[in-house]
């Protein structure tokens, strides 16, 4: 068996066992697609996907544990020693509907027919158990040239599945490749078909692009192609050109909120708008809220000045949580050079954060019932407002987070006006 340099040795061994079992049963079997491509260009190989002439039911009969993950499209997940491998029957696809899904999938016995249906030449390379390659469309040569080229006629491939255009842009920016001229011309001609692609599929491609090694190049290509000018995730080319894409390159890929916040900020999206916008782009509620919190903190800190800066930051921590504040600090430290801002300002905020003794009511050394008993008042909205003021005072170091100190500070706080925005007198 030929060696793989960039794949996990255990996954290579187990997937090779699957190929061997299929071949011993009289079927053709090979590795195909992304794993072969990534091995050839020296990138880490993730999924060892397998294609075979065996029908799904034949695959199921050969292995002890299988899962029919995509049986209608010929995909069976074979689980070996708790590791899943996708095994897909050779197939052809015809009469695509909605510019995305084929009306008809036909299982075939020919590897060449299966490779013919694939999107780009670099993804239409198969590798057999002995190490030999099956490459009828020149994918290896295109990888060496750094070229994105469709299998066959580019217009046909993009009419079949409009998402392939966005995948091509993603591959170009992640791998540092260029489009073959006819493939690029077809993309420009058919980009309007992106309106038919669901937002969640677009979002998944954008996540890989923004989280990749060269997000700024991705935004440049997105602006140049105007690929999302009419799509369900709308990004106008003019806005992308002005979005300061270089800031994304200055940020680490994780947590993902960093680069998405920078992109939204460049597009002129405010923290108040960000959460609903990201949800409409099918991001999870948690991610949308987290990215919006980062922008809200940044906006508040941008508006703060002088002696109020510490108070504003403390309130951000109490409003959005320590994790959000830490993410904001990561954001600002990474962008300090790009935005020409002094890092010392953020170093001071990091010190303030480290000194906060309590950031939620449950971390205070004094409970709500104790406060109500001390004042001989029934609990009500006033109690939550007072606990918040105690938290602020403790976070600012004005009152120690100790029971007696907090009790002693209650009367003083009640005698002072509540300066929080929107606070009402009791």
Q: Annotate 24-91 with DSSP letters as a single string.
A: HTT--EEEETHHHHHHHHTPPP----EEESS-HHHHHHH-SSEEEEEGGGTEEEEEETTEEEEEEE-E
Q: Which residues neighbour 2 within 8 Å (Cβ) at sequence distance 6 or greater?
A: 127, 129, 130, 131
Sorting pLDDT into bands at 50, 70 and 90, what band is 164? very high
Which residues are 127's β-sheet partners? 31, 133
- State which fold the 146-242 domain adopts: Hydrophobic Seed Protein (1.10.110)
Is pTM beyond 0.85? Reply is: yes
Average model confidence (pLDDT) across the chain: 92
- Can you give the pLDDT at residue 425? 37
- Confidence category of residue 376, pLDDT binned at 50, 70, 90: confident
HSE value, Cβ hemisphere, 13 Å, CA-based, for 199: 12
Number of H helices, E strands in the chain: 21, 11
Where exactly are the structural domains of the chain? 1-137, 146-242, 247-356, 357-426
Given this model, what pLDDT does residue 310 score?
Answer: 93
pLDDT in tens, 289-324: 999 999 999 999 999 877 789 999 999 999 999 999
Q: Is the pLDDT of residue 14 over 50?
A: yes
290, 324 in Cβ contact below 8 A?
yes
Beta bridge mates, 29: 52
pLDDT of residue 94: 66
Three-point CA angle 135, 140, 146, nearest 5°: 145
Domain at 1-137, CATH class: alpha beta
Three-state secondary structure of 324-374: HHHHHHHHHHHHCCCCCCCHHHHHHHHHHHHHCCCCCHHHCCCCHHHHHHH
> What does the pLDDT look like over 207-240, one tens digit per residue?
999 999 999 999 999 999 999 999 999 999 999 9
Where does the pLDDT of residue 414 fall: very low under 50, low under 70, confident under 90, or very high at 90 and above? confident
Distance CA 317, CA 311 (A): 10
pLDDT of residue 411: 81
Dihedral sign of CA atoms 150, 155, 156, 159 in order: positive
Q: Residue 71: pLDDT band by 50, 70, 90 thresholds?
A: confident
Return d(Cα 361, Cα 261) in angstroms, integer: 29
> Among 171-180, 340-349, 366-375, which range has the highest average pLDDT?
171-180
Q: Three-class SS of residue 150? A: strand
Tell me how far CA of residue 131 lies from CA of 2, 126, 239, 262, in angstroms. 5, 10, 47, 44
- Residue 40 scores a pLDDT above 60: yes
- Position 1 pLDDT exceeds 80: no
Q: Please state which CATH number belongs to domain 357-426.
A: 1.10.246.80
Residues 36, 127 contacting (CB under 8 angstroms):
yes
Rg (CA), the chain: 28
Whether residue 153 is predicted with pLDDT greater than 80 in this model: the reply is: yes
Supply the pLDDT for residue 422: 53
Task: Cite the beta strand spans of 256-338 per DSSP E.
Answer: none
Give the model confidence (pLDDT) of 273-283 as tens digits: 999 999 999 99
pLDDT at 423 over 60: no
User: Residue range 172-194: average pLDDT?
Assistant: 96
Q: Is 247-356 CATH 1.10.3470?
A: no
Distance CA 370, CA 366 (A): 7
Q: Cα separation of 168 and 344, whole Å?
A: 42
Alpha helices in 107-236 (DSSP H): 111-116, 139-145, 154-160, 163-175, 181-190, 199-210, 215-225
Cα 170 from Cα 201, distance rounded (Å): 13
pLDDT at 375: 87
| Structure confidence at residue 279 (pLDDT) | 97
DSSP state of 243: S
When pLDDT is cut at 50, 70 and 90, the band that residue 96 belongs to is low
Q: Which residues of 61-97 are buried (b: 16+ CB within 10 A; e: fewer)?
A: ebbeebeeeeeeebbbbbebeeeebbbbbbbebeebe
Q: pLDDT at residue 92 above 90?
A: no
CA angle 371, 377, 378 (to 5 degrees): 100
Cα–Cα distance for residue pair 102/97, rounded to 1 Å: 6
Q: In this model, does residue 116 exceed pLDDT 80?
A: yes
Confidence (pLDDT) at 343: 84
Residues 202, 229 contacting (CB under 8 angstroms): no
Give pLDDT, residue 100. 58
Q: What percentage of the chain carries pLDDT values higher than 70? A: 95
pLDDT greater than 80 at residue 80:
yes
């Amino acid at each position: 068996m030929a060696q793989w340099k960039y794949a996990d040795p255990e996954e290579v061994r187990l997937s090779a066992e699957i190929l061997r079992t299929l071949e011993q049963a009289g079927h053709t079997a090979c590795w195909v697609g992304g794993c072969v491509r990534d091995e050839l260009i020296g990138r880490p190989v993730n999924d060892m996907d397998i294609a075979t002439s065996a029908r799904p039911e034949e695959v199921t009969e050969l292995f002890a544990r299988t899962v029919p993950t995509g049986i209608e499209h010929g995909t069976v997940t074979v689980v070996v020693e708790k590791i899943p491998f996708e095994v897909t029957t050779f197939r052809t696809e015809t009469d695509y509907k909605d510019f995305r899904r084929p009306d008809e999938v036909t299982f075939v016995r020919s590897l060449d027919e299966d490779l013919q249906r694939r999107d780009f030449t670099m993804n239409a390379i198969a590798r057999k158990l002995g190490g030999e390659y099956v490459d009828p469309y020149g994918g290896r040569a295109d990888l060496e040239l750094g070229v994105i080229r469709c299998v066959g006629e580019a217009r046909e491939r993009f009419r079949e599945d409009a998402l392939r255009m966005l995948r091509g842009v993603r591959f170009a920016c992640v791998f540092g490749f260029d489009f073959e001229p006819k493939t690029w011309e077809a993309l420009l001609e058919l980009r309007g078909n992106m309106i038919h692609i669901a937002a969640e599929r677009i979002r998944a491609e954008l996540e890989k692009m923004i989280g990749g090694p060269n997000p700024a190049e991705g935004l440049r290509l997105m602006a140049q192609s105007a690929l999302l000018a009419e799509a369900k995730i709308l990004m106008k080319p003019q806005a992308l050109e002005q979005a300061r894409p270089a800031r994304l390159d200055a940020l680490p890929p994780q947590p993902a909120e960093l680069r998405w916040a920078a992109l939204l900020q460049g597009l002129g999206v405010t923290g108040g708008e960000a959460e609903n916008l990201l949800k409409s782009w099918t991001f999870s509620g948690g991610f949308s809220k987290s990215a919006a919190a980062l922008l809200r903190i940044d906006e508040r800190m941008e508006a703060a000045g002088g002696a109020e800066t510490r108070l504003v930051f403390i309130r951000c921590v109490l409003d959005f949580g320590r994790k959000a504040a830490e993410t904001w600090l990561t954001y600002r430290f990474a962008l300090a050079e790009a935005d020409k801002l002094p890092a010392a300002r953020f170093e001071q905020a990091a010190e303030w954060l480290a000194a906060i003794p309590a950031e939620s009511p449950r971390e205070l050394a004094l409970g709500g019932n104790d406060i109500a008993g001390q004042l001989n008042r029934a609990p009500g909205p006033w109690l939550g407002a007072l606990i918040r003021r105690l938290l602020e005072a403790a976070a600012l170091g004005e009152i120690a987070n100790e029971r007696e100190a907090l009790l002693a500070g209650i009367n003083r706080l009640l005698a002072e006006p509540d300066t929080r925005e929107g606070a009402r007198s009791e």
